[in-house]
């Protein structure tokens, strides 16, 4: 007797991070005449499990005699609000009982990030300090955490104080926010004249 084969219906699929419960279909080649089981597990990908990017534990699909040929594996995707690259999850089938593996033994699901890049702004629109305060930090913040390095250029665009060391020293520059950080400071040097 030739054993039925078990395969994923497709080798890949994708969905936005906001799609909370995608499923993957696993199909028998014929209607089962006896009980059949196949284990499945996460075998790779760039996404983080255990509640980081998704929830899916290893498990077993079971067909009883006469069941429909298709069963599904359900994944829970966690929307994290972080601007990041698309991430993948690879689910693979193990050795079945009373059946053999077909061609598509693994399925790659891609979580498509739906979070916009953060915006950047000063933490306040103004501040003051005595000129005896030699070094002043001007805080700048991102609106949300990002998994990318963010940069923003800054320059002096007005005011009554004189730069180049007369009243202050502050050259145009670039702030760099390493991945995972939301606050950086612009350093202003005051001259006590």
For residues 24 and 6, the answer to whether their CB atoms sit within 8 Å is no
CB atoms within 10 A of CB 51: 9
Q: Report strand pairing: 173-177 vs 150-154.
A: antiparallel
Over the stretch 90-138, which tens digit does the pLDDT of each residue have? 999 999 999 999 999 999 999 999 989 999 999 998 888 777 767 889 9
- 139, 183 contact by CB (below 8 A): yes
Q: What's the mean per-residue pLDDT of the chain?
A: 92
pLDDT of residue 135: 85
Give every residue of the chain whose pLDDT is below 50, as ranges.
none
Express as a percent the part of the chain with pLDDT over 90. Answer: 70
Burial 145-178 (b: 16+ CB within 10 A, else e): bbeeebeeebeeeeeeeeeeeeebebeeeeeebe
Cβ–Cβ contacts within 10 Å for residue 4, how many?
21
């Amino acid at each position: 007797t030739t054993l039925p084969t078990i395969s994923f219906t497709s080798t890949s699929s994708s969905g936005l991070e906001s799609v909370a419960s995608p499923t993957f279909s696993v199909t028998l080649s014929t209607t089962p005449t006896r009980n059949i089981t196949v284990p499945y597990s996460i075998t790779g990908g760039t996404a983080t499990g255990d509640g980081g990017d998704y929830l899916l534990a290893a498990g077993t699909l079971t067909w009883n005699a006469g069941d429909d040929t298709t069963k599904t594996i359900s994944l829970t995707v966690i929307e994290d609000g972080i601007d990041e690259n698309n991430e993948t999850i690879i689910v693979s089938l193990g050795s079945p009982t009373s059946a053999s593996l077909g061609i598509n033994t693994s399925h790659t699901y891609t979580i498509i990030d739906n979070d916009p890049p953060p915006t950047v702004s000063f933490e306040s629109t103004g501040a003051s300090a005595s000129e005896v305060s030699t070094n002043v930090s001007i805080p700048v913040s991102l609106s949300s955490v990002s998994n990318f390095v963010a940069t923003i250029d800054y320059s002096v665009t007005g005011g009554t104080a004189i730069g180049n060391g007369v009243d202050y020293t502050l050259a145009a520059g670039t702030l760099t926010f390493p991945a995972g950080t939301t606050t950086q400071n612009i350093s202003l040097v005051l001259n006590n004249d």
